[in-house]
Amino acid sequence: MMNERTLVLIKPETVQRGYIGEIITIFERAGLKIVAAKFLVATKKQLDGHFHGGDEWLRGIGRKTTEGCREDGLRVEDVMGTSDPLEIGRKIKEQLYHYLSSGPMMALVLEGIHAVKVVRKITGHTIPAKAETGTIRAMYSIASADLASVVGSPARNVIHASSSVDEAKIEIRHWFKDSEVIEWKKIDEDVLFTDGDYTKISDKKGN
């Protein structure tokens, strides 16, 4: 189905820099609408539910970190103190928990046509230094993987957005109760997404 919902988390450093309103405006101008919103400081329980992939997920993070260090001319052993992907993943997870619970976040559920893909496109590459010009991460950060590795912190990449429709459903259920997600209609939806026949014209004069 074209109409979708997706989760967005505006991360603590972005909140602290005062960019919540600007980022929401970018999504709204694209035709997306907010159907749920919550201002919160993430707890360990909430983060446990968000990062629920187990050891294989941790190994995946470890492998990505190793690859990123190699691309940046760094030895992962020097940066992380180990070359074991699982141990690296555990260390990165600990850093993520510290980062995401360091201050308030704004959690949003956005709805719209192809919302998951559209939000990911607007958000940009997960490493801000690699993000495409005009995307949120490119506009609001220059953080890079090598800097994050050296300082012992995840790349501060401004925002989280669900990566797939299935992931979005899981994440929305985790962060919001059903009663917190509001069904409503924006006044411009009929203009942007009319149910009528696009090929119809009223008369030969184009009126």
Question: Do 175 and 112 sit in the same domain of this protein?
Answer: yes
Question: Do 162 and 84 sit in the same domain of this protein?
Answer: no
**Is 98 annotated in the active site?**
no
Question: Do 22 and 3 sit in the same domain of this protein?
Answer: yes
| Residue 46 included in any domain | no
Question: Do 110 and 202 sit in the same domain of this protein?
Answer: yes
Count: domains in the chain: 2
| Residue 149 included in any domain | yes
How many beta carbons lie within 10 A of that of residue 40, not counting itself?
12
**Domain CATH number, residue 124:** 3.30.70.141
Q: CA of 60: how far to CAs of 57, 83, 90, 129, 133, in Å?
A: 5, 13, 11, 21, 28
Question: Do 165 and 82 sit in the same domain of this protein?
Answer: no
- Please list the alpha-helical segments (H only) found in 85-142: 85-100, 115-123, 136-140
| Residue 47 included in any domain | no
3-state SS record for 7-52: EEEECHHHHHCCCHHHHHHHHHHCCCEEEEEEEECCCHHHHHHHCC
Question: Do 57 and 152 sit in the same domain of this protein?
Answer: no
**pLDDT 10s digit of each residue in the chain, 207 long?**
589 999 999 999 999 999 999 999 999 999 999 999 999 999 999 999 999 888 998 999 899 888 888 888 888 898 888 999 999 999 989 999 999 999 999 999 999 999 999 999 999 998 898 999 999 999 999 887 767 666 667 778 999 999 999 999 999 999 999 999 999 999 888 777 665 554 454 444 444
Domain containing 138: what range?
A: 1-41+103-207
In the set 50, 114, 160, 174, the catalytic residue is: 160
